[in-house]
Amino acid sequence: MEYDKKELDARLKDELHHAGHRWRNRFHLELPFGFTGSVKGLVFFQGEYHLFCQWNPFSTEDKNKGWVEFKTRDFVYWTDPKLVLWPTDDNDKGGCGSGCAFINGGNLRVFYTGRREEEGKRANRQILGTMTKEGVIRKDMVLIKEQPEGYTDHFQGPHFFVRDSHAYALLGAQAAPADDARGCLLLYREEKGLFHFAGELKTQLGFFGKVWECPALLSFGKHDVLFFSPRGLSDREFDWQNLFQSGYIVGHLSLAGREMIHGKFHELDRGFDFFAPHVGVHEGRALLFGWLSMPHKDEDYPTGEHGWMHALTLPRVLTLKQGKIFSRPAPELKALRVARSARELSGRAVPSLKTELAYCSEILMNIVMGVAQRIKIELRYGREKVKISYNRETDIVEISREGMKLGGRGVRSFKLYTYHSLAMNIFIDRTAIEIFFQNGEEVASFLVFPEEDVAPVFSVEADAPMEKVMGSIWDLDRLRYGELKQQKRKYRF
């Protein structure tokens, strides 16, 4: 495929500023045509956040991918996206795959997987690049030419990190043989500008899926958190219900022993459409963007018929509490609230509440349940609906899209312990919905595609009068593209 950067950048700008389809998200990042892939770099450089994601501009298929770059200072005002990396030679002729971005020697560098084949088999290479003054990534060198012996060609997604003044890389991998494969991570250590294989990173998970992808390592105080996305887990009643999962383990990593002592694997998101998240850190604040998608489920995303597919989650701030990651929307997003639209959601000793919403809305709500044992929340789009229910007796949350006609449907269930009140922060875009439960203890992200062009109606109902319902509702403005604007206020939840 022929990549014409000038033409593609111009088309991106034009269609992004004039996108009018009713399913176009307003405050979630998505590219106006082609296949929007997952985030592959998030770094703060020269006063701005630089976010990179994969993109196929030629179709909505998961192939022929390059990288585009967005820049922002506040997650509300963004530059127009621009193509910065694309297949150009034998090292990445099959596409620019997973990777990361980092600052090194005063430069913005990227480390990514060049997808390629030899004799009909994958032969991926791990490539180092540098952002130039011209706004494109220069491909400097191949750092890792091939996977080590004993591992299959599922070898991708380098994550660069520094510990004790030494540079390392983690790569997602699959231990051979392919017919009895298991997912794992491989550790590399930098010596004199080259990365050398140090060995497989040992965990206590045993067999835990057939492939591991998108690794990342962060430190929260004295604890290490290892993020990765396993494929091939069998679903359980309240866990691993999607085709593929994304999550983390918390513990302590010994690089000398290439081993991590850790607790259980936790999922990062309980919704239908979440995979391959990317994390970055600036001034001690850990941020995450997820991919609102599920691979190999194209039939769930009817926007493909209109020339585009997939989106990104809102930026989330991560904290570690009692061995678990809590995710909350970045406080800068408060700037999206339309002040004059603010209204209270309140009631005492009521069995139900109901209100109309704008197409794009935020709900911040706390339900003191009192004697109520079952809560049912609905978003109605004409004759269609999404249902979120909570059973206090069993501590089960259930999210159902069975009431929608187009796109993915199904039910997701998970455990949530609430004591006497249920707290929710709900973001509703044209198709993207993100729900933060109990101040971010759990999150659920998913997409809906209403058949009718109607704004949703929000309702809360219980099996007995709820002691108290407190909250606020705002209409939300759209993201702004073009010139950046500095946020002068610091927002806190």
Distances from the Cα of 358 to the Cα of 273, 312, 432, 469, 472, angstroms: 23, 21, 14, 20, 13
Q: Are residues 278 and 357 in the same domain?
A: no
Distance between CA 174 and CA 152 in Å, rounded? 6
Last residue of a domain, one of 311, 332, 353: 332
Tell me the DSSP string of 2-46: ---HHHHHHHHHHHHHH---TT--SSS---SSEEEEEEEEEEEET
Compute the half-sphere exposure of residue 178: CA atoms within 13 Å on the CB side of its CA. Answer: 5
Rg of the chain taking only CA atoms, in angstroms: 22
Q: Please list, in sequence order, all residues whose beta carbon lies within 8 angstroms of the beta carbon of residue 130, skipping any fewer than 6 positions away.
A: 107, 108, 109, 110, 137, 138, 140
C-alpha dihedral (109, 156, 70, 331), degrees to nearest 10: -100
Domain shared by 165 and 68, yes or no:
yes
Kindly report, residue by residue over 266-279, the tens digit of the pLDDT: 999 999 999 999 99
pLDDT at 486: 62
Would you say the pTM of this structure is higher than 0.75? yes
Q: CA triplet 387, 388, 391: central angle to 5 degrees?
A: 130
**Whether residue 29 is found in the same domain as residue 160:** yes
486 is a domain residue:
no
Query: Taking a C-beta distance cutoff of 8 angstroms, is the pair 156, 124 a contact?
Result: yes
- The answer to whether the beta carbons of residues 274 and 208 sit under 8 Å apart is no
299 and 408 together in one domain: no
Q: What is the mean pLDDT of the chain?
A: 95
* Residue 458 and residue 405 share a domain: yes
- Pick left, alpha or beta for residue 169 (phi over 0 → left; psi -120 to 50 → alpha; otherwise beta): beta
In this prediction, residue 178 carries a pLDDT of 67
Q: What is the DSSP letter of 302?
A: G
Q: Is 20 exposed, middle or buried (0-12, 13-18, 19+ CB in 10 A)?
A: exposed
> Looking at the predicted structure, is the pLDDT value of residue 493 above 70?
no
CATH number of the domain where residue 191 is located: 2.115.10.20
Strands (E), 164-314: 166-175, 182-191, 194-200, 211-220, 223-231, 247-254, 259-262, 266-267, 275-282, 285-292, 308-309, 311-312
CA distance readout (Å), 382 to 21, 454, 458? 18, 7, 11
Q: Establish if 189 belongs to a structural domain.
A: yes
Which of 4, 182, 28 has the alpha carbon at shortest distance from 86?
4
The closest alpha carbon to 412, from 437, 431, 429, belongs to 437
The pLDDT tens digits for 202-255 are: 999 989 999 999 999 999 999 999 999 999 999 999 999 999 999 999 999 999
197 and 76 fall within a common domain:
yes
Tokens of 456: 């949703």
What's the rounded Cα separation, in Å, for the pair 477 and 474? 9
Domain-located, residue 484: no
Question: Do 208 and 60 have their domain in common?
Answer: yes
Q: Residue 489 falls within a domain, yes or no? A: no
- 239 shares its domain with 278: yes
Query: Does residue 377 lie in a domain region?
Result: yes
CATH no. for residue 460? 2.60.120.560
Would you say residue 55 has pLDDT above 60?
yes
Q: Which of 281, 306, 332 is the last residue of a domain?
A: 332
User: What whole-number distance in Å separates Cα of residue 58 and Cα of residue 33?
Assistant: 8
Q: What are the pLDDT digits (tens) for 471-480?
A: 999 999 999 9
Between CA 97 and CA 69 the distance in angstroms is 15
307, HSE (Cβ side, Cα atoms, 13 Å): 11
pLDDT attached to residue 491? 41
Containing structural domain, residue 467: 341-476
In a domain, 225, yes or no: yes
Are both 323 and 416 inside the same structural domain? Answer: no
Residues 353 and 302 in one domain: no
Residue 448 DSSP label: -
Query: Does residue 178 fall inside a structural domain?
Result: yes
Pick the last residue of a domain from 332, 356, 373. 332
If asked whether residues 322 and 350 sit together in one domain, one would say no
Residues 34 and 147 in one domain: yes
Amino acid, res. 183: G
**Domains in the chain, number:** 2
Q: DSSP strand E in 384-438: where?
A: 384-391, 396-400, 411-415, 421-428, 432-437
What does the pLDDT look like over 338-367, one tens digit per residue?
A: 999 999 999 999 999 999 999 999 999 999
pLDDT per residue as tens digits for the range 429-483: 999 999 999 999 999 999 999 999 999 999 999 999 999 999 999 999 999 999 7
Asked if residue 214 lies in contact with residue 194, where contact means CB atoms within 8 angstroms, the answer is no
pLDDT, residue 342, reads 96
Structural domain contains residue 481: no
Question: What sign for the dihedral angle of Cα 136, 139, 143, 144?
Answer: positive
